[in-house]
Structures are given as structure tokens and as C-alpha cells.
């Protein structure tokens, strides 16, 4: 499949947006250390209600970033060009979109539930538990997808190695739905896949996609 220069530019912009959205989403939660922590769901729910503006900003940033990441992943599959690569990156895209839906639930808790709703604590745990679970699903899809994309790569450059490494590092993070220890591994995995997105996006923007893999 031939990929146009304008298509690469659009994909690169999506990649940069994905990185910016995910980084901004984390930064907006800098005063909410309980966020995305299974053992601290009640504390996270209380923090969401106490900091609705930071919650809203983070939710919107994450959602936009994940939608953009899905677009980046689809283009990665086109660049690699094989059926395996397209299947792998489609998995990343689908789980990213599920996660994008999940990142809106803290906003729902802050804006539509609030502290006055009867049974608010249970609702808060349910909504944030859903957020955490869909984030875990995304990390699973990202891990599998990147490992398969690396296997489908035609080259042997360091980008292929980074793709495989980011995928392998993301797989155990999927355990965050049942263990905060798994969530701690995100400090290793996230910089790797963010670096991969930045690197490929720069290549696509310059128009020399043949050097990416």
C-alpha cells in the first residue's frame, strides 16, 4: 500500500498529539498520587471530587492523546505493510480507543456523580475501577501489538529493537488491574513507547519513512 506524504504528515501530527496528551494527562494528576492505584481507589475517588478541574483537564488530555495514539498505530501498520503488522497495530488502536472511553469516567464521577449522590462511594469505586481496568487492557494490547509489529518489521535497526522492548515492557503493566506492583512498571514502559512514537513521528514528518525500520 502506497502511503502519501500528506498521510505521513497527518500520522506524525497524530503521534505528537498522542505524546502531548498522555504527558499532559499525567502532569494534571501531579497532586493526585492515588490515581490509577488499585489499593487507593477510595482515596482516588475522594481526590477526584476534591479536584474536579484537574480531573477534567487530565481526562480530556488522556482521551485526546489516546484517540491520536490509535491513529498513529493504524498508520504504523500501513508503513510496515504486512498483514501481521496491520493486525498488530489494529489491536493497539482498538484497545487505545477503549482506554479513551475509560479515561472519561473520572470526569463523570467529578461532574455527574459528585459527593451528594447516595451510594457515591460505591459508584466512585465502580467508575474508577473501570478506568483502571480499561487502562490495563490498553497496556496488554499495546504490549502484544508492539511485539508483533517488531516481528513484522523488515529491518533490523534500533527502532525495531525499541518497538520490541517497549512492547515487552508494557505487557506486565497490564497486571495493574490486580496489582499496584504492575502499575509501578509503567515508569519503565511509558518512556519507551513514548520515545517510539516521537521517533517514528519525526521520521514521517520529514518524509524519509524508509529509514524508520
Q: What is the pLDDT of residues 10-23, one digit of tens each?
A: 999 999 999 999 99
Q: What is the pLDDT of residue 178?
A: 94
The number of CA neighbours under 13 Å toward the Cβ of 107 is: 14
pTM strictly above 0.85: yes
Distance of CA 199 to the CA centre of its chain: 16
What is the Cα–Cα distance from 40 to 92, expressed in whole angstroms?
Answer: 28
**Of the candidates 93, 68, 57, which has an alpha carbon nearest to the alpha carbon of residue 17?**
68
Each residue of 23-58: pLDDT tens digit?
999 999 999 999 999 999 999 999 998 999 999 999
Q: Which residues of the chain have pLDDT under 50?
A: 1
Residue with cell 495514539: 69
- C-alpha to C-alpha distance for 178 and 136, rounded to whole angstroms: 9
Q: What is residue 1's predicted lDDT score, i.e. its pLDDT?
A: 47
Q: What is the pLDDT of residue 209?
A: 57
pLDDT at 156: 61
pLDDT the model gives residue 210? 54
Alpha helices in 51-184 (DSSP H): 52-80, 83-102, 105-108, 120-152, 158-170, 180-184
Amino acid at each position: 500500500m502506497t502511503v502519501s506524504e500528506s498521510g505521513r504528515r497527518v500520522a506524525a501530527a497524530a503521534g505528537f498529539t498522542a505524546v502531548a496528551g498522555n504527558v499532559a494527562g499525567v502532569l494534571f494528576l501531579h497532586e493526585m498520587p492515588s490515581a490509577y492505584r488499585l489499593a487507593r481507589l477510595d482515596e482516588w475517588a475522594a481526590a477526584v471530587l476534591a479536584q474536579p478541574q484537574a480531573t477534567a483537564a487530565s481526562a480530556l488530555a488522556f482521551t485526546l492523546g489516546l484517540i491520536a495514539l490509535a491513529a498513529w498505530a493504524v498508520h504504523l501498520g500501513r508503513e510496515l505493510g504486512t498483514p501481521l503488522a496491520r493486525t498488530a497495530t489494529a489491536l493497539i488502536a482498538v484497545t487505545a480507543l477503549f482506554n479513551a472511553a475509560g479515561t472519561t469516567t473520572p470526569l463523570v464521577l467529578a461532574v455527574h456523580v459528585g459527593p451528594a449522590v447516595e451510594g457515591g462511594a460505591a459508584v466512585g469505586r465502580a467508575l474508577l475501577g473501570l478506568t483502571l481496568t480499561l487502562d490495563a487492557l490498553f497496556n496488554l494490547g499495546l504490549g502484544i501489538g508492539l511485539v508483533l509489529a517488531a516481528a513484522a518489521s523488515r529491518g533490523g535497526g534500533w527502532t525495531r529493537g525499541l518497538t520490541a522492548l517497549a512492547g515487552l515492557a508494557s505487557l506486565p503493566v497490564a497486571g495493574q488491574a490486580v496489582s499496584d506492583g504492575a502499575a509501578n512498571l509503567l515508569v519503565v514502559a511509558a518512556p519507551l513507547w513514548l520515545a517510539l512514537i516521537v521517533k517514528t513521528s519525526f521520521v514521517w514528518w520529514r518524509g524519509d519513512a524508509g529509514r524508520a525500520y
